[in-house]
Structures are given as C-alpha cells and as structure tokens.
C-alpha cells in the first residue's frame, strides 16, 4: 500500500481518493464469505463517500452547504472506522494492512473535524 507523500499531505482530494483505493485493494485481497460480505460492501461505500462529499463541499454554493458536506464526510470517516474495526475482528491476519488504513482514517477525521470547527466559527 502506498503511503501519502509529503507532496500530497495537504491535498485532501488526493488523500481521500488514495484512502478509498487502499480500502478497495484491501477488500479485493479478502475472499468473500457470509461473515464479511456486508462489512466489505459497507466499508468500500463509506470510504469512497468521504472523498465524494469533500469534492462536493469544495463546490458548495454557500457556507452552510460547505459545513453540511464536510459534516457528511466526517460521518463517513467515522463509519469507515467502524467497518475497519469489524473487518479486523473478522480477519485478524489483515491487521497490519488495516492499521495503516486506520491511521490515515484517524488523521483525516482530525483534519475534517478541524475544518468543520473552523468553518462554523467564521
């Protein structure tokens, strides 16, 4: 899995896209079963929605719309963290890969929380 480079550290559109790509690659490496199918589907959906909502926020028509879209992106980050936790429980052999994704997801949560907080105060 590729780590975020310093060049892309502040490019949130790129970081959120890379996160979704990392999730897809992780999930592709896992054989589907009755235990993991729903978790994998939900994780792929929520991780992809982070970037989609961030892109929408960047094209928002008002401050209120921006704050709303950032809030949705933040919720999708938290949802992704939930599904990552469950996937780690189902597939402990993937914990090393999951921890890398979890770390990036946690960093994005802190960033998006700060963006929302700053936008709300203005």
**Can you give the C-alpha Rg of the chain in angstroms?**
15
Q: Please give the CATH architecture assigned to the domain spanning 12-121.
A: Up-down Bundle (1.20)
pLDDT at residue number 1: 46
State both tokens at 33. 């079963």
Cβ count within 10 A of residue 43: 26
**CA–centroid distance for 40 within its chain:** 13
**All structural domains of the chain with their residue ranges:** 12-121
- DSSP structure string for 38-106: HHHHHHHHHHHHHHHHHHHHHT-SSHHHHHHHHHHHHHHHHHHHHHHHHHHHH-GGGHHHHHHHHHHHH
pLDDT at residue number 5: 52
pLDDT at residue number 43: 98
Q: At what angle do helices 63-90 and 95-121 cross, to 10 degrees?
A: 160
Which among 78, 75, 71, 72 is positioned nearest to 119, based on CA atoms?
A: 71
pLDDT at residue number 122: 76
* Spatial contact of 50 and 71, defined as CB atoms under 8 Å apart: no
* pLDDT tens digit at each of 122 positions of the chain: 445 455 566 899 999 999 999 999 999 999 999 999 999 999 999 999 999 999 999 999 999 999 999 999 999 999 999 999 999 999 999 999 999 999 999 999 999 999 999 999 87
């Amino acid at each position: 899995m590729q780590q975020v480079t310093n060049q892309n550290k502040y490019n949130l559109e790129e970081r959120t896209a890379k996160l979704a790509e990392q999730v897809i690659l992780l999930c592709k490496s896992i054989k589907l079963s009755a235990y993991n199918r729903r978790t994998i589907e939900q994780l792929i959906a929520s991780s992809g929605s982070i970037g989609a909502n961030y892109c929408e926020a960047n094209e928002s028509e008002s401050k209120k719309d921006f704050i709303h879209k950032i809030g949705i992106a933040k919720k999708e980050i938290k949802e992704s963290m939930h599904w990552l936790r469950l996937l780690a429980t189902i597939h402990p052999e993937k914990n090393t890969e999951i921890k890398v994704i979890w770390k990036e997801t946690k960093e994005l949560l802190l960033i998006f929380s700060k963006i929302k907080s700053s936008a709300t105060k203005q």
